[in-house]
Structure formats: C-alpha cells, structure tokens
Chain A
Amino acid sequence: MQILSLITPTTEIILGLFFLILLTLLYFWYTYKKEKQFVAAEAKTFSRYQKIIVDAQKKAREIISKASQKAQQILLSSSKVKKTSQKEMETTIDKNTQQLLKSYEESLSSAKEEGVASLKTLTSQLEKMTTEELASYAQELQKDLIATKSQLAEYKTQEMDKVAQVVQQYKNTQLEEADAKIKQRIQEIAEKIIGKALSLEEHETLILQAIEDAKRENIF
C-alpha cells in the first residue's frame, strides 16, 4: 500500500515512458531479427533459383541442339525425297506427253487418210453427177430462157398497149379540149353576130317555137 502511495504522477509518466521505450526497442530488435532471417532466406532462394535456371538453360540447350540435329536430318531426307519425286513427276509428264502426241499424230494421220479417201469418192461422184446434171441444167436454162423471152414479148405488147391507150386518151382529151374551145368561140361569135342580127319578130318566132316544142315534150 505504501509502495502504491509512493507512485506519483511523475513517476507514472516516467514509468510509462520507460515501458514505451522498452517496447519500441523490443520491436526494433524483433524487426531486425526478422529481416536478417528474410535476407538469409532470400539469398538461399535466389541461389536455388539461379541453380534451377542454369539447369534449365542447360537442358534447353541440349534439347535445342538435339532438335536442330533432327531437323537437319529431316530436311536432308526431305530434300532427297523432293528431288526424287520431282524427277519422277517430270519423267511421268514427259511420258504422258509423248504418248498423247503420239496418239494425236496417229489419229490425225488416220483422219487425214479418211478425209482424202472421202474426198476421192466425192470427186468421183461429182464427176459422175456433173455430166448428167449439166445436161438437165442446160435444159432447164433453155426452158427458162424461152419462158423469159415469151414473158418479155408479152410484157412488151402489154406496155405497147398501155402506151397506145395513154396516147389515145391524150389525143381524145386534146380533141375534146379543142372542140370545147371551138364551140365556145363559135358561141361567142354567134352571140355577137346572130344575137344582134336577129330582129324582134325573129326572136318572137324562136320563143314561140320553143314553147310549142316544150308543149310537144309535155312540159305543160
């Protein structure tokens, strides 16, 4: 109880500070220790990692060298295959081409022969036909010629008739016109001469005669 009574506020603060410093020191020490452990572990891990990487690099190099070797081998073999297959193909194509050419030439020559043969037969047939047909053609031509001649003669007579008709019509028209003109002239002259020359008695006689004629024609 006495001890507790000795504790004053100042001592309380001092004690508090003391504990606080102590705690801080303990924390720093702990942290330092942990960091040391971490660095050591890190170094250990790094060395292990490096080892792993070096190992992996080694293995990869081995694998790559092996693979390249194999690839070279494959390439070599494939080029060989390629060369052989190309050669084979070329020879095959050549062969086929030759065969085709040969068959084409054969068929061409046979066709040519056939054509020549058929031409020969055709020529001989034509030779036979022409002599017969020429004769008949000449006959037909002669017939046509005669028919054309008669048609021409007919056409000529028809045209001559037409011309004669036209001439006659023209003649008639001209004559009619001349007649009409002469009549008109005569009438004009008669009108001038007779009209003046007729006396009143003569006019009366003509009028009465006209009425008598009309009566005879049953006009009244």
Chain B
Amino acid sequence: MKQSALSDITSFLKTKKQSALLQEVLEETVEKEYTTQANPMEFLKKRLPVSLEEPLIELFSKQKENSPKALYEFLKTILSQIKTLPIVSLTLAIEPTHHMIDAISQAINQPSLIDIDVNPSLIGGAIVAYQGKYSDKSLKKTLENV
C-alpha cells in the first residue's frame, strides 16, 4: 500500500513548494484531532488550493473507511510519505508551466519532488542535481564549451 501511496501522492504533488504547503496544512490538521470535533475535511478544503485538495480527497475516497478518524490516519500516512520523498534540484532558464512540471516529473519517472530554481543566464536547458550528483546541460555551458 505504501509504495502505491507514494506514486499516488506524486501524481499530484510535483514540486517542493507544493510539498511544503501540503505538509504545513496536514500538520495543522493532524494537530486538531484531539482538540476539535470539526470535520477535518472542511479544514483541508479551506486551507488547500484545489490543485492539491481535490486529488487528496480523491485519494482518500479510495480508502475503505471514510470516517474522520480514518481521514486523520490517512493524512498522517501521507505526511510521513511526503517526508521520505527524494528531491531533484533543477535550475532552469525560465519559470516552468504546469505542463512543463508534469512533463519533467514524467521524464524523471520515479517518486520524487522537484525543487526548481530559475536562472535566466542559463539561456536554455537545465542543471540537474540529485543526491550529491550534478549535471549541467544548459545552453550557457554548451556555449562555454564551444
């Protein structure tokens, strides 16, 4: 279930920024378990953007139980899974579109979060860094090597 959960999470959670926001909201929600009787679902709807909230609810709906307690447990599992996701650092020449992020995620083809940094001097291409390894495939580098 865990491995499938990871791939399910990364189906809608692509970037480190998204992950940071989701983690923050999930932690706040989980903290309310014993302090409030309110439905956590409502809280999530209030705090999360649609791009994150809808796929999360959809993912929860696939679970066997739909009680608030089961939701809390589901959120805790998601939280712990997010923390284990590796980060791929990318430096790009432009701010990527959602379409680009999806394409990049597909190209990486493994559960991970993308940390994007923008540097226009690269002209095009990308600098990729992952777990201490580094590859500069920017146009700037290509020009330097000319």
Contact = CB atoms under 8 A, between A and B. Distances in A.
Interface of A: 183, 186-187, 190-191, 194-195, 198, 200, 202-204, 206-215, 217-220
Given A207-B100, A211-B104, 18 more contacts: A186-B146, A187-B123, A190-B143, A195-B124, A198-B124, A200-B94, A203-B94, A204-B103, A206-B124, A206-B125, A207-B92, A207-B126, A208-B103, A209-B125, A210-B127, A219-B129, A220-B88, A220-B108
A149 B144 CA distance: 52
Interface of B: 88, 90, 92-94, 96-97, 99-100, 103-104, 107-108, 110, 120-121, 123-130, 133-135, 137-140, 143-144, 146
A191 B121 contact: yes
Per CB-CB distance, the 9 closest pairs between chain A and chain B, nearest first, are: A210-B137, A210-B126, A214-B128, A214-B135, A206-B124, A211-B107, A206-B125, A210-B125, A219-B133
Contacts of B103: 204, 207-208
Nearest to A192: B123
Contact of A219 (B94, B135, B143): B135
B124 A203 contact: yes
B10 to A, nearest CB: 14
18 contacts: A186-B146, A187-B121, A190-B143, A191-B140, A195-B93, A200-B94, A202-B124, A207-B90, A207-B103, A207-B104, A208-B103, A211-B90, A212-B107, A214-B130, A214-B135, A214-B137, A219-B129, A220-B108
Contacts of B133: 218-219
A210 B138 contact: yes
Contacts of A183: 143-144, 146
A206 B100 contact: no
Given A187-B140, A219-B133, A194 B107 contact: no
